[in-house]
Amino acid sequence: MFRFGSPEYLWLLLLAPLLAGVFVLYRQGSRKRLARFGKADTLRELMPEASPKRVRNKFVLVLLAVVCMVLALARPQFGSKLKEVTRRGVEIMVAVDVSNSMLAEDFQPNRLERTKYAIDRLVEQLHEDRIGVIVFAGDAYVQLPVTSDYVAARNFVKNLSPDMVSRQGTAMGAAIDLAASSFSPGSEGSRVLILISDGENHEDDPVAAAQAAAEKGIRVYTIGVGTPEGAPIETGGDFLKDENGNMVVSKLDEKTLEQVALTTGGSYIRATNRSVGLEEIIARINEVEKKDLTATLFEDYNEQYQYVLGLALVFLLLDTLMIPRKNRILARFNIFGRQRRMTKR
């Protein structure tokens, strides 16, 4: 298992393209200044020891050294020991509607972005529980299997978008069925599904799927994102229209979401711009009987920064040994047997 112990330092890698841009501008300026004194061919004869290639190579070596030093600061590590950890918690599957209707802007900046922010805040508060992520529109897919890796969960959530599901629609029933089969073995009695959607189901029967989930001991909590008045859907810089050319307005369907939740003994919450409602649901989930959940994690990590730092020192040493001009002594040796042109006197 590989990771960075201090990943925040990786932002310093943005210095690399910045330094490269400054170097390119500097070289262009140098060529323009030299062009004032004569043609390039004439200047090369007047400055036989000048070597633009060596200058460029020295810069590349320094740039590689900077990149390696940044990577060393980020502390690359490899996991060296597996350990089974037992935690007392709940397995939570979060099913997120990523259909185009979630781009409606009755929530700011839109329904989906508001949902992603709320889930990110939720994951920050988890300690002993496991979490998985399912995305659905016309179809449903497991985006992240149940895990205790909260960093990975937050990264996956940040990338949620309608492009993840090729077929549009809102198949809540498929999402519930998929979630019911995605919990890990041994977590019976401590399984929770949080379904976040605008409730506009167009594909299947989510209530029947909820009944099947309830028989497996799964509680479904639903969150309605949107307003009953609805809002138009903007995609690709234009508003979505139906086959008759009329603007599509996506409205919150609370009835379906309420039925799904009540069928499993869960509850329904309508989100607002101020609060999506995940905090309230987590408070109710904590009332559910928790179980001992076993997870296999890497316990010890070996630091590997010294190797990257050593490579940076090698690049700096090569830069020091390389002079920025041609060497007169080496230039006297005709290593490749090139014939010099003889000039007649």
* Phi-psi region at 236: left, alpha or beta (left = phi > 0; alpha = psi -120 to 50): left
Do 235 and 103 touch, CB atoms closer than 8 A?
A: yes
Q: How confident is the model at residue 246 (pLDDT cuts 50, 70, 90)?
A: confident
To which residue do tokens 């047997």 refer?
337
Both structure tokens of 245: 């050319």
Q: How confident is the model at residue 4 (pLDDT cuts 50, 70, 90)?
A: confident
pLDDT > 70 in the chain, percent: 80
pLDDT, one tens digit per residue, over 176-188 is: 999 999 998 877 7
Note the pLDDT of residue 341: 45
Query: Would the pLDDT of 245 be above 70?
Result: yes
pLDDT, one tens digit per residue, over 102-126 is: 999 999 899 999 999 999 988 988 8
Torsion angle in degrees (nearest 10) through CA of 95, 100, 104, 109: 70
Note the pLDDT of residue 323: 75
Do 105 and 226 touch, CB atoms closer than 8 A?
A: no
- Per domain, the residue ranges of the chain are 2-78+303-331, 91-289
CATH superfamily, region 91-289: von Willebrand factor, type A domain (3.40.50.410)
Note the pLDDT of residue 45: 60
Pick the residue with more confidence: 65 or 77? 65
Query: Would the pLDDT of 194 be above 60?
Result: yes
Residue range 2-24: mean pLDDT, rounded: 89
In this structure, of 201-210, 223-232, 234-243, 331-340, the range with the lowest mean pLDDT score is 331-340
What gap in Å lies between CA 264 and CA 244, rounded to an integer? Answer: 39
Provide DSSP, 24-92.
HHHHHHHHHHHHTTS-HHHHHHH-TTB-HHHHHHHHHHHHHHHHHHHHHHT-EEEEEEEEEEEEEE-EE
What gap in Å lies between CA 314 and CA 280, rounded to an integer? Answer: 56
Pick the residue with more confidence: 89 or 61? 61
Query: Bridge partners of 212?
Result: none
Q: How confident is the model at residue 47 (pLDDT cuts 50, 70, 90)?
A: low
In the predicted model, what is the mean pLDDT of the chain? 83
Kindly list the distances between the CA atom of residue 70 and the CA atoms of 9, 38, 104, 313, in Å, as whole numbers in the listed order: 7, 42, 41, 13
Q: How confident is the model at residue 343 (pLDDT cuts 50, 70, 90)?
A: very low
Sort 133 into a burial class: Cβ within 10 Å, 0-12 / 13-18 / 19+: buried
Q: How confident is the model at residue 98 (pLDDT cuts 50, 70, 90)?
A: very high
Residue range 153-168: mean pLDDT, rounded: 91
Residue range 252-276: mean pLDDT, rounded: 92
Pick the residue with more confidence: 199 or 142? 142
Closest CA to 301 of 75, 86, 87: 75
What gap in Å lies between CA 57 and CA 243, rounded to an integer? Answer: 60
Closest CA to 101 of 206, 255, 230: 230
Note the pLDDT of residue 335: 44
